[in-house]
Structure 1
Amino acid sequence: MITDFPAAPLPLPSEAELDEELAALGGDALIPKALRRTLFPVITKEDVFNLMLAQRQDPQKVVSDFADAYRDYVGANHALPTASGTSSLHMALVGAGVQPGDEVIVPAFTFIATAQAVVAAHAVPVFVDIDPVTYCMDPEAAASAITERTRALMPVHVHGLPADVPALRALADRHGIALVEDASHAHSARIGDRVAGSLGDAAGQSLMADKNFPLGGEGGIAFFSTPEAHDRAVTYLERHGIDYGMSWIAAAFGASQLRRLPYYDRIRARNAALLGEALDGTGLFSPPHVPDGHVHAYNMYRITLRPEAAGLDDLPVHAVKEAVHELLVAEGVPAREWQNTPIPCHLPFRSRDGFGNGYPFSLNPGAVRDHRPEDFPVTLGMLDSTLVLCRELRSPVEYERALRYADAFRKVARRPDAIRKRVEAGDYRRPYEKAARLG
């Protein structure tokens, strides 16, 4: 039987463990292999009862009630529940008025679905580099990419940190184009008192089972600022005979999960602060930057390496990152790369077959570029020098587990000699030189 309880409790860490040999060199791991598994989402009796009771209701009412409740939570004006995050982004673009052949500016660093949704709307994605601190769309890069055929900016609140919406909003208004959020990582993220999903003209958001706010399987939701945008998306579905409807099972599960979302948010924020304090003390590692007035949702937690702080700046930063990655994993910390190459260098945007015969790229050949990874130097630098924790700060991650993650970073940072030796003995390639990965 699958249970939300771990096999055994992790003991609270001790200072003495930090001085023990690294696990990769024969010492004991801070988190033993038998105790490394974490489970998400949490499934409670309320979730099960809600699913059972929902069987007595009209399926469409279950979905619409969920969509209304979550729309109110976000503070959006209109909502359209969908079957997936990608379909929600597609509908957000359609609702915002994107037409075949239009250009939509997207960041080169995101999940591939951001750009695929643009193609689904029969438009052409135009890729720009990211901000070197937040890793979200760089407003200056976006400004340089605007042409007379640009219809929308599509920033991604990557990892759960809202993009620079004030700057992008001003840019969009100056050029008379739409601002469409990809809020798929950003459940409960905010700028001031406004929640991601309610910041632009439209937004799409994934609600799949590995997100901070999970539905039962796949799901998504599109938000719109005006009734005209909402009606445009609904009419599009009807006219084309597309079934993007959300499952009532997913909605019923989401309805009870929504009640616990504020609790999950507080646990993640606590664990992120705990880990951030530890990272700041190592010198070698830095936590995510959060601009003033922004609330990070921590769907992912991207950690930046500072080799110069450990006397390792004579080594290639990507090799230091790889060596550190191996040492952390041996200690039981599930650090990883998330993405390893800019999205425009993935096969669908290199071959540009689209729907066949190059459509919709053929509608606007002037917007098409044959990109190389080097076209996005900030993205490459970020991929070279950062690692990610994905689910490891969420509830039900135990407090003692979060403490042990923090201690693993401290333990590795104390051993620049081991990092150097590993780099000098290894043959590490830059991330984009490997096979492109979706995640």
Structure 2
Amino acid sequence: MITDFPEAPLPLLDGTETTAELAEFGGDPVIPKGLRRTVFPVITKEDTFHMLRSQRSSPEKVVEEFAERYRSYVGAHSALPVASGTASLHMALVGAGVMPGDEVIVPAFTFIATAQAVVAAKAVPVFVDIDPHTYCMAPERAEAAITERTKAIMPVHVHGLPADVPALRGVCERNGTVLVEDASHAHSAGIGDSMCGSLGTAAGQSLMADKNFPLGGEGGIAFFSSDEAHQRAVSCLARNGIDYRMSWIVASFGTSQLQRLGYYDAIRARNAAELSRALDETGLFTPPYVPEGYTHSYNMYRIGLRPEAVGLEDLPVWKVKEAVHELLVAEGVPAREWQNTPIPCHLPFTHRHGFGNGYPFTLNPEAARDHTPQDFPVVRAMLESTLVLCRELRSPVEHERLQRYAAAFRKIAKRPDAIRTLVNERNYPRPPHQEAARLG
């Protein structure tokens, strides 16, 4: 029988891990091979029993039950369960009143679905730079991009940190636009007592299986602040014959998983806090920034580099990043890049074929601009100087594993000489944004 149960427990730290030779240079890795896999989501007998019981109800009722429970949890006015995160963003935009040819301001750093959903709504995405601390949309950049055809601003709560919604809401109020959230990373994240998904006119959220709140496969949900916005989205589906229905199997799994979401959130917050303390001690690495009063859900955990803190300021930061990436992976830490160039530099937005013959970009040619990475200096600088952990802070990640992640960062920070050696030997050819666009 195939099982996801670990083959063996991770050994406890014995104190020698941070002073041993780096694995890249022949030493033992901090996390041994064969013990590196993390499993998520957790599937329990309660999930199985709930899905079996759900077969006694109609598919529509199962989906409605899930949507209502999750809507109540988020605190939104109304909800529309759909088949994917992209579908949820599409419906959020339609519900907010976005029409063909309208402009929707989106951040240049996000997953490509954010901008693709704007095209699905037959509108034109207008890309802006991000805040250098939060990596979310910069409100001043959004306001500078507004034209008479701007209908919506769509910030992304990237990696699970809420965007500066108070400032962006002010931008919308001053300019007569609506705020639509991309909350696909932000399950249980929020500002004060308000949860992401309930902060704007509408919101879209992915519920696919690798998110912090996982459903059984692909799924999404759109939230609305009024009956009018909700009805707009529902009418669009009926009028155009679009089948975005959520599977009852997906919804059933989500209903039972929702009961454990608070536990997942607490474990992830604890793990993030402990790892952040460890990174602060290294000098080389910096943890994510979280403004006062914000709840970060850590769908991803982005780590910054400070080469100057360890005497590597003479090296290009992107080369230091490449070397550190190699060293971390060799130690068993699954660090990733997660995007290598701004979204407007990906093929759908450089070629702009759209639905054919350039539609919907042809509806508003002035808004359809050619971009290079140099147009978004903050995004480019972030991509050159940061790495990401994706699933490695979630339950059921063992505490021993988290301690070993921290030990690996400490181990590498103690060896700037090894980083310099890799940079010199590998001769990394080009910054990430000069390579072919990659997702994830």
**SS of 1:281 mapped into structure 2:** helix
**SS of 2:417 mapped into structure 1:** helix
The residue aligned with 1:328 is 328
Contact 1:4 1:42 in 2 (8 A): no
**SS of 1:292 mapped into structure 2:** coil
- Distance in 2 (CA, whole Å) between partners of 1:14 and 1:87 is 49
Query: Alpha-carbon deviation of 1:427?
Result: 2.1
The residue aligned with 1:85 is 85
Deviations 1:127-158 (A, max 9, x none): 00000000000001001100000000000000
Contact 1:98 1:123 in 2 (8 A): yes
- Distance in 1 (CA, whole Å) between partners of 2:323 and 2:247 is 44
Q: What does 1:167-182 correspond to in 2, within 5 Å?
A: 167-182=167-182
Query: Alpha-carbon deviation of 1:303?
Result: 0.1
Deviations 1:381-433 (A, max 9, x none): 00000000000000111000000000000000000000011111122221111
- Distance in 1 (CA, whole Å) between partners of 2:59 and 2:74 is 23
- Distance in 1 (CA, whole Å) between partners of 2:281 and 2:15 is 15
The residue aligned with 2:306 is 306
The residue aligned with 1:427 is 427
**SS of 2:17 mapped into structure 1:** helix
Contact 1:354 1:361 in 2 (8 A): yes
- Distance in 1 (CA, whole Å) between partners of 2:420 and 2:51 is 54
Query: Alpha-carbon deviation of 1:4?
Result: 4.0
The residue aligned with 2:396 is 396
The residue aligned with 1:203 is 203
Runs of 4+ in 1 over 4 A off after TM superposition: none
Residue type of the partner of 1:9?
Answer: P
Q: What does 1:314-353 correspond to in 2, within 5 Å?
A: 314-353=314-353
The residue aligned with 2:249 is 249
**SS of 2:392 mapped into structure 1:** coil
Among all aligned residue pairs of Structure 1 and Structure 2, give the percentage whose two residues are the same amino acid.
Answer: 75
- Distance in 2 (CA, whole Å) between partners of 1:286 and 1:5 is 33
Deviations 1:158-212 (A, max 9, x none): 0000000000001001111110000000000010000000001100000000000
Q: TM-score, normalised by structure 2?
A: 0.99
**SS of 2:221 mapped into structure 1:** strand
- Distance in 2 (CA, whole Å) between partners of 1:158 and 1:47 is 29
Q: What does 1:19-418 correspond to in 2, within 5 Å?
A: 19-418=19-418
- Distance in 2 (CA, whole Å) between partners of 1:336 and 1:314 is 24
Contact 1:182 1:203 in 2 (8 A): yes
Residue type of the partner of 2:421?
Answer: K
Residue type of the partner of 1:241?
Answer: G
**SS of 1:80 mapped into structure 2:** strand
The residue aligned with 1:5 is 5
**SS of 2:388 mapped into structure 1:** strand
Residue type of the partner of 2:57?
Answer: Q
Query: Alpha-carbon deviation of 1:14?
Result: 2.3
Residue type of the partner of 2:86?
Answer: T
Query: Alpha-carbon deviation of 1:3?
Result: 3.1
Query: Alpha-carbon deviation of 1:16?
Result: 1.4
1:436 equivalent in alignment to 2:404: no
- Distance in 1 (CA, whole Å) between partners of 2:153 and 2:403 is 40
Deviations 1:201-244 (A, max 9, x none): 10000000000000000000000000000000000000000000
Q: TM-score, normalised by structure 1?
A: 0.99
Residue type of the partner of 2:436?
Answer: A
Query: Alpha-carbon deviation of 1:331?
Result: 0.3
- Distance in 2 (CA, whole Å) between partners of 1:312 and 1:17 is 23
**SS of 2:223 mapped into structure 1:** strand
Structure 2: which 5+ residue stretches go unaligned?
A: none
Query: Alpha-carbon deviation of 1:22?
Result: 0.3
- Distance in 1 (CA, whole Å) between partners of 2:154 and 2:143 is 12
- Distance in 1 (CA, whole Å) between partners of 2:437 and 2:27 is 34
- Distance in 1 (CA, whole Å) between partners of 2:94 and 2:427 is 47
Residue type of the partner of 1:430?
Answer: P
- Distance in 2 (CA, whole Å) between partners of 1:14 and 1:94 is 57
Contact 1:161 1:294 in 2 (8 A): yes
- Distance in 2 (CA, whole Å) between partners of 1:237 and 1:173 is 29
Residue type of the partner of 2:439?
Answer: L
Residue type of the partner of 2:102?
Answer: D
- Distance in 2 (CA, whole Å) between partners of 1:25 and 1:67 is 52
- Distance in 2 (CA, whole Å) between partners of 1:190 and 1:242 is 31
Query: Alpha-carbon deviation of 1:5?
Result: 2.3
- Distance in 2 (CA, whole Å) between partners of 1:215 and 1:231 is 25
Residue type of the partner of 2:203?
Answer: A
Residue type of the partner of 1:65?
Answer: E
Residue type of the partner of 1:434?
Answer: E
Residue type of the partner of 1:135?
Answer: Y
Residue type of the partner of 2:256?
Answer: S
Residue type of the partner of 1:95?
Answer: G
- Distance in 2 (CA, whole Å) between partners of 1:271 and 1:244 is 36
Aligned length: 439
**SS of 1:34 mapped into structure 2:** coil
- Of stretches 10-19 and 193-202 in structure 1, the one that deviates more from structure 2 is 10-19
Contact 1:92 1:203 in 2 (8 A): yes
Query: Alpha-carbon deviation of 1:301?
Result: 0.1
Deviations 1:79-99 (A, max 9, x none): 000000000000000000000
- Distance in 1 (CA, whole Å) between partners of 2:260 and 2:20 is 39
Contact 1:124 1:361 in 2 (8 A): yes
